[in-house]
Structures are given as C-alpha cells and as structure tokens.
Structure 1
Amino acid sequence: MVCRQVHINNLPASTKCSNLNYVAKQESLQELVNCVNAFMSYHYMSINTRRSKTKGLESY
C-alpha cells in the first residue's frame, strides 16, 4: 500500500500529518483509516522495540 511507504519512512511528524491530509483528499476514507492504522501500529512497535533494547534481556 502506498501510504505505508509514504508515512512509515523516517519523516518528521509534520510531514506525516501533511501526507495524511493529502491521502484524505486523494483516497477513500477506508484508505485513510488503513494509513492511520498502519502508521499507529508501526509507531507503537518502534516504541516497544526501543523499550526492549534498553531493557536488554530482562523482558525474557
């Protein structure tokens, strides 16, 4: 899906917001929802990854 490539690269937050606005104009509502879900799940995963790296092996 195009939005994954656009939003989930390491772009500044403002760029992500403007890209979401662009998608909202260009795509259907469902596509926008998919983009937001993809972005949020990626963001959540990256936070968890960072957290587990700082913990080291404690999480196991």
Structure 2
Amino acid sequence: MESASIALAAPGAELAARLGVEPIMVRGSHEAMLTHPDDVATALLEHITSARVPAAPMAS
C-alpha cells in the first residue's frame, strides 16, 4: 500500500513505534470510514478478534 494513499502514514507509524505497537494501515484519508468502510471494518474486526485483552475482574 502506498503511503500517499494513507492519511498521516508517517506520524501514525511513528506514534505506533513509540507505543511499541504495530500500526494497522487502512487506505484512505481522514474520511476513510466514509470512503472505505469495508476496509476499516475489516481492520477493526481483525484487530479485535486477535487482541489478547485480560478479562476484567468480577465485581463483588
């Protein structure tokens, strides 16, 4: 994917590196949710289903 087709590609990658995480790149501009909704939904679903989040403690 060309970085020119991704809004804020360089700053996004730099922030991810500082946080120690791998960025998920989705083509489009700041309106990607409107112009590429399937790409955004796929990226979110892939991340959510692969994320390992510890379960929240049960309330007592």
TM-score normalised over the length of structure 1: 0.34
The higher relative CO (CA closer than 8 Å, separation ≥ 6) is in: 1
Provide TM-score, normalisation by structure 2.
Answer: 0.34
Give 1 or 2: higher helix fraction. Answer: 1
